Structure 1
Amino acid sequence: MTSSKFGKSLVACLLNVSEARNKDNIERIARAALFNIRGQKHPDTAVLNVFSNYDYNRSVLTIVSTSEWIGKSVVSSCVEGFTCIDHSRHEGVHPCLGGIDLVPIYPLSGVTLEQCGEIARGIAEELVTQVPGCSMFLFGYADIAEMRSLADKRRSLGWFRKNCNVDEIKADVGMKPCGKYGITGVGASPYVMNCNITLDTQDLTSGKAIATAIRERTGGLKGVQAMAFPNKGQVEIACNVESFRDIPENISAADVDKYVSYHICGDTFSYISLHHIEAKVQNLAACKGIKTTGTALVGFTPQECRVTAEYAISHGIGEFWKRRQGVFM
């Protein structure tokens, strides 16, 4: 694999686990990304951020490493998660299908999407070997047969339903899903950010209407998926902000500023500006007489993730997230 000016090809995994209320478990899962079962440190690896939400009962860990080591680091973290999380006992407002719910692999520098797909498939195969009884579905560049996006694959499996029966789901890799582990999504795509905007209301119906208005699938903003959840006595618009290759044609000069672009391995990727998403939500909320009280980015933009990864790895700061303790939700 080719390398960046940093000298190493870098990959990120925004590991989504269905646990936020037991901080000891989250600490164990994060540290497992850095050390193997013998306590030996994984080289060129760092956990940049840990973002947890009590109401969601969900955490997102930003794990970064070289293309050579990201697989071992993520597998180690997931194995620990499977050990300490019982999905059958999970309670939270955020939908999920597994204790380890999502393992997305994103290129940061010097690695292609196709190579990330190979890494993701390797992770899925290794997990079902190390954890008998766990199950995987594949998406994006890991899903060679269909290349279905995460949203499409989740929709087909019923991830968005409140009470989905994982026993009825057929796995792409591994055994038939069981209650303890559920089923885990493993795949690769251009970088996806998680951005949450809080509304100063308890009116979930209005929140869902705003989420529908900004969601690409229902005529909203390109690359944006959105759901509304109750959170800390208010309503939160939780957005997935996807990177994509193709900016829409025939856009005005004013609209060009809505997109942010970056480059990896000769490919140009873009995403909708977070400021534009925030402004859109604010305008929609104002029409309903609702104010917003804040916007939180879960972790980093893709550019920030690359720069922070280079810094943490070059300085040997594996537990970088401990420098960002104040960003827990």
Structure 2
Amino acid sequence: MKQIIECVPNFSEGRDMGIIKQITDVIEAVDGALLLDVDPGKDTNRTVVTFAGEPEPVMEAAIACVAKAKELIDMSKHSGAHPRMGATDVCPLVPVSNITMEECAELAKELGKRINEATGIPIYLYGEAARREDRYNLPDIRKGEYEALEEKLKDPDFAPDFGEPVFLPKSGATAVSARAFMLAYNINLNTADLKAAKDIALTIRSTGRAKRDTNGKIIRDENGKMVKVPGKLKFCQAGGWYIDEYGYAQVTMNLHRFDITGLHTAFDTVIEEAAKKGIRVTGSELIGLVPLQAMLDTGEHYLRKQGASTACPEKDIINIAMRSLGLEDTSPFDPQKRIVEYALKNEEGRLKHLTVNDFTDLLSSNAPAPGGGSVAALNAALAAGLSAMVANLTFENKNYTDVHETMEITGREAQALKVKALQLIDDDTEAFDVWMQAMRLPKKTDKDKAKRDAAIQEAVLGAINIPHGTLKLCLEILKLAEYVLKNGNQNALSDAAVSVKQAQAGAWGAYYNVLINLPSLDDPEKRENIRKAAKKTLDAVEKKAAELTQYAEEKLIHDIG
């Protein structure tokens, strides 16, 4: 599995799109670095850029864009609403998949060193890459911003982690880190009152605000240290600003642990605090990309508040999250471009996105794929979809409150299996394509032949494992179909029964595809083990399907008919 990281450099330029374009061009010029998002802000005079890929191309692109920013941006002439200390203010790395935070932190240290060697810019490490405890939080490093940097660099204790403590008037300094996925999130207020926005921010931010006595005087402890009232939200940095471009104030925040303080928690809390001041929240905006889970958590939160089932399709959950947060109040929000998992996927030409008409037309043509394996996976997806439907129809029916909770759980599981099955539609066809590519490899020399044979055997195994996976999935779906058939809304009994038969059909289709590919596997022991395992799963499917078919027919004929 490939290691994937994300890099989110923040550049101190948000008004000159020509400069921004030159910076992003050098990112796109690096093979393997995928530019995901460019989010400029005129009032902040700052652009957040997001790109991702495997570690080495991402780091190459990071070095290149920092160097280009040094060339193009003059900090001595910069002004903007956002705190900053350099042309490339921050350059954090974020683990996305198959890589730990510890590994990402080591990469950030390496990146900081390489940026300094390539550009001479003083580098400070923060977040999980910090070498000093007092540099973990970015605001502690950036205190005083660019304007204080020259004087601060004279202090030996402020020496950079990489590079000489030399003030570069044009480029300033850059902070490099490894961090968890941070959500840069702004909540819109129906007021231009900057003071009100800042006051709300003080109330919600983790560090809280100064505690005051009845006369408004700050209370201090016996050591003279300011006593603070803790903020309402954990892992939240917050401030207030007025955006002239929008004509209203915002509570701006960084959410460092969205699993603890999610978008919905921040949004609802700001609504509560704003209401105390007679202010309404009109919507919000996300800066850069957002993880899928953060959107799902939010959508599910608002569905639960409505008393609705969360066992609905993923796109519906995302849609309720978008509408609940008012994410299009400021600018359009396209989930395919703004949710990181979607942006990283290349879904162009995927079979699962074809219309029913186009899929069946392609299926009925002389193309060798898609074929029976993809159809078997489609059967499984339909079976899971029907089980989810029955679960949802049961959830919303007041006559089934005793199974309300378990139906929601069953529906969620069915939705998850549906997604897996849909993926297998394309996986099966792609496995066939890989096999055909292996067959076309050169075979002129013994070395060529050996390489080709090994590639073919690997491809054959893949072409077997995909339908074998579909077969196993059908058995899982049958277990869910059994629950909704026996406990679900009886008006949807036929739908549950069809779910059973679709899962059974998918299992047979998958089994046949395993059998037809097995002879091409050279290893006889592996061949026999797979055959026995597939037959065992099919037998379990047949036993369960027969039982449920009989149950459904008896109910339909005797209880209903």
- Cα distance, 1:271 vs structure 2: 3.9
Task: Read off the aligned partner of 2:91 and give its amino acid letter.
Answer: V
Change (3 A) 1:104 1:156: closer
Higher Cα Rg, which structure: 2
Task: Read off the aligned partner of 1:149 and give its amino acid letter.
Answer: Y
SS in structure 2 of the partner of residue 240 of structure 1: strand
Question: Aligned to 1:142, which of 129, 140, 143?
Answer: 129
Question: Aligned to 2:250, which of 229, 233, 236?
Answer: 236
Q: Give 5+ residue unaligned stretches, structure 1.
A: 36-41, 244-259, 261-269, 316-329
1:193 counterpart = 2:180 = no
TM-score (norm. length: structure 1)? 0.77
Query: In the alignment, what sits opposite 1:125?
Result: 113
Question: Aligned to 1:164, which of 142, 148, 151?
Answer: 148
Question: Aligned to 2:203, which of 206, 213, 217?
Answer: 213
Query: In the alignment, what sits opposite 2:62?
Result: 74
Which segment drifts farther, 48-57 or 136-145? 136-145
Give the Cα–Cα distance (whole angstroms) in 2 for the partners of residues 178 and 31 of structure 1: 25
SS in structure 2 of the partner of residue 97 of structure 1: coil
Give the Cα–Cα distance (whole angstroms) in 2 for the partners of residues 147 and 106 of structure 1: 21
SS in structure 2 of the partner of residue 221 of structure 1: coil
Query: In the alignment, what sits opposite 2:270?
Result: 281
Query: In the alignment, what sits opposite 1:227?
Result: 239
SS in structure 2 of the partner of residue 21 of structure 1: coil
Give the Cα–Cα distance (whole angstroms) in 1 for the partners of residues 42 and 55 of structure 2: 32
SS in structure 1 of the partner of residue 114 of structure 2: helix
- Cα distance, 1:308 vs structure 2: 2.8
Give the Cα–Cα distance (whole angstroms) in 1 for the partners of residues 254 and 92 of structure 2: 13
- Cα distance, 1:148 vs structure 2: 4.1
Query: In the alignment, what sits opposite 1:112?
Result: 100
Give the Cα–Cα distance (whole angstroms) in 1 for the partners of residues 141 and 65 of structure 2: 27
Deviation readout 1:40-78 (Å, 9 max, x if unpaired): xx2332111111111110110011111232111111111
Q: Could you say which structure has the greater relative contact order, defined with CA pairs below 8 angstroms and 6 or more residues apart?
A: 1
Q: Percent identity?
A: 28
Question: How does 1:45-84 map onto structure 2 within 5 Å?
Answer: 45-84=33-72
Give the Cα–Cα distance (whole angstroms) in 2 for the partners of residues 168 and 146 of structure 1: 18
Task: Read off the aligned partner of 1:84 and give its amino acid letter.
Answer: L
Give the Cα–Cα distance (whole angstroms) in 2 for the partners of residues 103 and 188 of structure 1: 9
Task: Read off the aligned partner of 2:53 and give its amino acid letter.
Answer: S
Give the Cα–Cα distance (whole angstroms) in 1 for the partners of residues 236 and 130 of structure 2: 21
Which segment drifts farther, 136-145 or 199-208? 136-145
1:31 counterpart = 2:25 = yes
Contact kept in structure 1, 2:146 and 2:172, CA below 8 Å? no
Query: In the alignment, what sits opposite 2:212?
Result: none
Give the Cα–Cα distance (whole angstroms) in 1 for the partners of residues 204 and 39 of structure 2: 24
Task: Read off the aligned partner of 1:182 and give its amino acid letter.
Answer: G
Question: Aligned to 1:272, which of 249, 255, 261?
Answer: 261
Question: Aligned to 2:280, which of 287, 291, 296?
Answer: 291
Contact kept in structure 1, 2:85 and 2:146, CA below 8 Å? no
Contact kept in structure 2, 1:120 and 1:186, CA below 8 Å? yes
SS in structure 2 of the partner of residue 229 of structure 1: strand
SS in structure 1 of the partner of residue 172 of structure 2: coil
Give the Cα–Cα distance (whole angstroms) in 1 for the partners of residues 58 and 141 of structure 2: 28
More strand by share: 1
Contact kept in structure 2, 1:166 and 1:183, CA below 8 Å? no
Give the Cα–Cα distance (whole angstroms) in 1 for the partners of residues 141 and 58 of structure 2: 28
| Aligned-CA RMSD value | 2.0
Give the Cα–Cα distance (whole angstroms) in 2 for the partners of residues 73 and 125 of structure 1: 15
Give the Cα–Cα distance (whole angstroms) in 2 for the partners of residues 237 and 271 of structure 1: 19
Task: Read off the aligned partner of 2:184 and give its amino acid letter.
Answer: N
- Cα distance, 1:144 vs structure 2: 3.1
SS in structure 2 of the partner of residue 73 of structure 1: helix
Give the Cα–Cα distance (whole angstroms) in 1 for the partners of residues 142 and 44 of structure 2: 20
Contact kept in structure 2, 1:171 and 1:177, CA below 8 Å? no
Give the Cα–Cα distance (whole angstroms) in 2 for the partners of residues 148 and 171 of structure 1: 11
- Cα distance, 1:89 vs structure 2: 0.8
Deviation readout 1:135-169 (Å, 9 max, x if unpaired): 11111222234384234xx225415x695344423
Give the Cα–Cα distance (whole angstroms) in 1 for the partners of residues 133 and 278 of structure 2: 44
Give the Cα–Cα distance (whole angstroms) in 1 for the partners of residues 191 and 340 of structure 2: 36
Deviation readout 1:235-276 (Å, 9 max, x if unpaired): 111110112xxxxxxxxxxxxxxxx6xxxxxxxxx2422122
- Cα distance, 1:127 vs structure 2: 1.5
Change (3 A) 1:124 1:300: same
Q: Give 5+ residue unaligned stretches, structure 2.
A: 154-158, 209-230, 294-338, 349-561
SS in structure 2 of the partner of residue 47 of structure 1: strand
SS in structure 2 of the partner of residue 276 of structure 1: helix
Deviation readout 1:70-109 (Å, 9 max, x if unpaired): 1111111111111110111101121111110000111000
- Cα distance, 1:208 vs structure 2: 0.7
Query: In the alignment, what sits opposite 1:247?
Result: none
Task: Read off the aligned partner of 2:232 and give its amino acid letter.
Answer: G
Give the Cα–Cα distance (whole angstroms) in 1 for the partners of residues 51 and 200 of structure 2: 31
Query: In the alignment, what sits opposite 2:442?
Result: none
Change (3 A) 1:66 1:271: farther
Give the Cα–Cα distance (whole angstroms) in 1 for the partners of residues 62 and 133 of structure 2: 24
Task: Read off the aligned partner of 1:82 and give its amino acid letter.
Answer: K
Contact kept in structure 1, 2:134 and 2:140, CA below 8 Å? no
Query: In the alignment, what sits opposite 2:74?
Result: 86
Task: Read off the aligned partner of 1:155 and give its amino acid letter.
Answer: D
Change (3 A) 1:198 1:164: farther
More helix by share: 2
Give the Cα–Cα distance (whole angstroms) in 1 for the partners of residues 150 and 196 of structure 2: 30
Query: In the alignment, what sits opposite 1:321?
Result: none
1:22 counterpart = 2:36 = no
Task: Read off the aligned partner of 1:311 and give its amino acid letter.
Answer: K
Give the Cα–Cα distance (whole angstroms) in 1 for the partners of residues 243 and 142 of structure 2: 25
SS in structure 2 of the partner of residue 33 of structure 1: helix
